Chains A and B, each alone.
Chain A
Amino acid sequence: MIDFVVLVLLTIITASTPLVFAAIGEIVVEKAGVLNLGVEGMMIVGAIGAFAVAVTTGDATLAILAGALSGLVLAFIFGFLTLYLLSNQVATGLALTLFGIGFSALLGNGFVGQTYGGLPHLDIPILSDLPIVGQLIFGQDILVYLSVVSAIGVTWFLGRTRWGLAVRAVGENHDAAHSIGFSVALIRMGAVLFGGAMAGLGGAYLSLAHTPLWVENMTAGRGWIALALVVFASWKPWRAFFGAYLFGGITIIQLHAQGFGLDVPSQILSMLPYLATIVVLVLISRDDSRLRLSAPACLGRSFHASG
């Protein structure tokens, strides 16, 4: 029984990690006032980028970097279009997702059916030998550790550093930030690129660790869940981290529930994350001042300096 529980928990970690990456990245993007709906597209391009490099070179580190870089390149396109050519963020983000799905399918054509051994596990000495928790917490691969570090790091960055403050400032009131002397476009570009790299890492985790092979459209809507998570977490990284585990947990438990013959239609369970998001949205929108404190006031609005 304990083995079974450990197994379930392990799969929950595996299911949640891509969501953590994508959501934490998008939080930084949205805190800077940019709404990038292209998370799904950046994830899937990250997935194929990482998988292609993994299969060709066999080097896990290179593969992870390739995943991040692929997401970053896509994010750069988005950033250039929306921040410098001032295209509409919603439309551009949607286009990015559609483009990413199609482009990854094209790239992945030659990789269908190939396999990869999965990311090596980094056992932390001594701790990983502990019973039960040993393998669960201290015997994971590098990306799982990195996802935890990124949640803590982003919380610290946004709350405690001057540049984090600057990111929040351009998202809160871009005119004021400009008149104080911050370069709105540059700061937003930085945030967008970070978000792209994180989404790429989330994708890389899918194709390198979660299911180490390439399947067309393998992100299967995780990018959208990540976007929902950002609102669900009211733009707080640590809440997004736990939210990702909650949503990841629901998907896994749903699978096992079916295995036990529990008679809940799987569709209902896969609806849950989105339902939860809608409920949270309604709740935080009820209180004007709470919403104002958590949602970046300039979210989705283009900025042009000549004003």
Chain B
Amino acid sequence: MTDTPRLELIGITKAYPGVVANNNVSLRVMPGEIHALLGENGAGKSTLVKFIYGVQKADSGILKWEGEVTDIPNPNVARKLGVGMVFQHFSLFDAMTVEENISLGIAPELAKSGLTQRIIDISTQYGLPLEPDRYVHTLSVGERQRIEVVRCLLQDPQLLIMDEPTSVLTPQEVEVLFRTLRQLAADGVSILYISHKLQEIKDLCHTATIMRMGEVVADCNPAEETPRSMAEMMMGGNLTPPERTGKAVPGEPQLIVKALNVASSHSHGTDLKDIDFQVRAGEVLGIAGIAGNGQQELMDVLSGEVLVSDPESIIIDGNPVGASGPNQRRSVGMTFVPEERLGHGAVPQMSLWENAFLSGATRMNLLNNGFMRIKQSEEYAATIVEEFRVKTPGIANVAESLSGGNLQKFIIGREILQKPGIIIALQPTWGVDAGSAAAIRQSLIDLAANGAAVLVISQDLEELFEIADRLSVICEGRLSPGRNTEEVNVEEIGLLMGGISSEPITEVAAHAD
């Protein structure tokens, strides 16, 4: 390994109106190094990597590539230098095939004939199976990410930037990705790795740079740190992991779902088959599963966005609601935290208090003969902001101006303050920084301790083991029977997520030994 860093940033500063996204940031990445970039939402990581990839310009600072001062005005130049990037929000085109997507994102010379074969070669070499003719909208999230990775690899990158690559992957998919990344690093490729998942960073990365409020606050060796110590460096304070305050004795079932069969409305969705479960007052039921196994469909059916013909198949606190819409379900005690924050959980262009009104109108009595009670709605929003420590200049700010973690705290708070009998949350901490995630989990646990039923559907096993009393797994639209969290381990759940039922587990384990 030479001493010349592959990439060196010196004093990068970038300001947006009102915020300094990067303030005098310096960083060096050596060849063959897996370098973590850590920080909470809004710490300036994305701004920094967008600058490296030429998507955004910095106000001042120097970028050195292989020791030479270099200017990267646009992504084409970045790619020519050998910088590849996998975006957090995939830069893919749904209505195009895998191959078309790949050919758009690489140098024109590479997009000539023989591309199909090279895609297949690269994807087998690194264990990332892809079918070049498939349309992207038919693929799972994990498969979509593979497209981005293969697209980068086709260009022989010297530096690979990955922006939160694992937030949408299953444990098994993460393993495959890590194997690929280690193989690349061994071949001399530098990797700049952004993630919130500190355990992953500890397992994978050689060095880490920690950012807070746009500045570098520490450099460290992740192997010598604990996830908790890194989280505290990111936050600049102490992290309180969620705690359970004694176990409430589960009470009456708040939600009963019986023999639920629903055909998906999307042509590539998953049909729900014979879903059967209960959530009792005072308990947290976690539903694990790989993305695209029916979670979204289950959420749609439970929230009333999709109705079923038999009202008795969904019962909330004794009321059959299978055929009733979301507002009726709210009025009998159910509230929801959808996965998509902007567009589903909140209206992006509306202010926080308007968003509070939209969801709370029924349960918070914010309507007066069809007119909005504006003052009460504002008070309600202000209470949410205060109690759930949402960072925002004010409740008149639009939802989309908040960072992901803050908006999610607002949405969770909005639903919890409605004092639900049952709350349903889909991926409640997706893309949320460690501090906010801990706060969100704690508030869900507290809600259950106060006697509400909580249903959390998540792909994040760590999260589910932390907060759930019972666990089920959804796979291909079927739900496994719930089991007490203390009685199962991550491996068993992982196998269930992969579609292997609990019976042959011992057998598989025996063979593995």
Contact = CB atoms under 8 A, between A and B. Distances in A.
A215 B266 CA distance: 51
A166 B92 CA distance: 12
Interface stretch (B3-11, B73-81, B180-188, B353-361): B73-81
Contacts of A293: 95, 135, 137
Given A168-B95, A176-B90, 4 more contacts: A165-B100, A172-B96, A178-B55, A180-B91
A292 interface: yes
A287 interface: yes
Contacts of B74: 181
A57 interface: no
Interface stretch (B103-111, B119-127, B171-179, B221-229): B103-111
Contacts of A177: 91, 93, 104
Interface in A174-197: 175-182
Please give me the 9 A-B residue pairs with the lowest Cβ-Cβ distance, nearest first: A181-B75, A176-B91, A172-B93, A289-B267, A181-B76, A179-B91, A180-B105, A293-B95, A173-B93
Interface string B54-74: 110000000000000000001
Contacts of B96: 165, 168-169, 172
Contacts, number: 67
Contacts of B54: 181
30 contacts: A162-B104, A162-B108, A165-B104, A168-B96, A169-B93, A169-B104, A172-B95, A172-B96, A173-B91, A173-B93, A175-B89, A176-B87, A176-B92, A177-B93, A178-B55, A179-B75, A179-B87, A179-B91, A180-B91, A180-B104, A181-B74, A181-B78, A182-B104, A287-B267, A288-B267, A289-B137, A289-B267, A292-B137, A293-B95, A294-B95
Interface of B: 53-55, 74-76, 78-79, 87, 89-96, 100, 103-105, 108, 111, 135, 137, 265-268
Secondary structure type dominating chain A contacts: helix
Contacts of B53: 179
A297 B94 CA distance: 9
Contacts of B104: 162, 165-166, 169, 177, 180, 182
Contacts of B268: 289
Given A173-B92, A175-B91, A165 B137 contact: no
Nearest to B77: A181
Contact of A165 (B90, B103, B135, B266): B103
Contact of B55 (A166, A179, A294): A179
A178 B75 CA distance: 9
A173 B75 contact: no
B112 to A, nearest CB: 10
Contacts of A179: 53, 55, 75, 87, 91
A293 B96 CA distance: 8
A25 to B, nearest CB: 21
Secondary structure type dominating chain B contacts: loop
Contacts of B100: 165
Nearest to B93: A172
A177 B100 CA distance: 13
A162 B103 contact: yes
A20 to B, nearest CB: 25
B33 to A, nearest CB: 25
Interface in A229-268: none
Which one of A165, A181, A294 has the highest number of Cβ atoms from chain B below 10 Å of its Cβ?
A181
A181 B53 CA distance: 10
Contacts of A162: 103-104, 108, 111
A292 B265 contact: no
A179 B54 CA distance: 9
A176 B151 CA distance: 14
Which one of B76, B90, B93, B96 has the highest number of Cβ atoms from chain A below 10 Å of its Cβ?
B93
A177 B91 CA distance: 7
A165 B106 CA distance: 13
B429 to A, nearest CB: 24
Nearest to A296: B95
Contacts of A173: 91-94
Contacts of B95: 168, 172, 292-294, 297
Interface string A265-307: 0000000000000000000000111001110010000000000
A181 B50 CA distance: 12
B168 to A, nearest CB: 16
A10 B111 CA distance: 44
Contacts of B135: 293
B265 A168 contact: no
A231 to B, nearest CB: 16
A274 to B, nearest CB: 27
Contacts of B92: 173, 176
Nearest to B76: A181
Contacts of B103: 162, 165
Contacts of A176: 87, 90-93
Given A179-B87, A181-B79, A289-B137, A168 B267 contact: no
Contacts of B78: 181
Nearest to B107: A181
A248 B87 CA distance: 48
Nearest to B90: A176
A293 B137 CA distance: 9
Contacts of B87: 176, 179
B75 to A, nearest CB: 3
A176 B95 CA distance: 13
A288 to B, nearest CB: 6
A180 B137 CA distance: 19
A179 B100 CA distance: 16
Contacts of B79: 181
Given A172-B96, A173-B94, A176-B90, A288 B105 contact: no
Given A172-B96, A179-B55, A181-B76, A289 B266 contact: yes
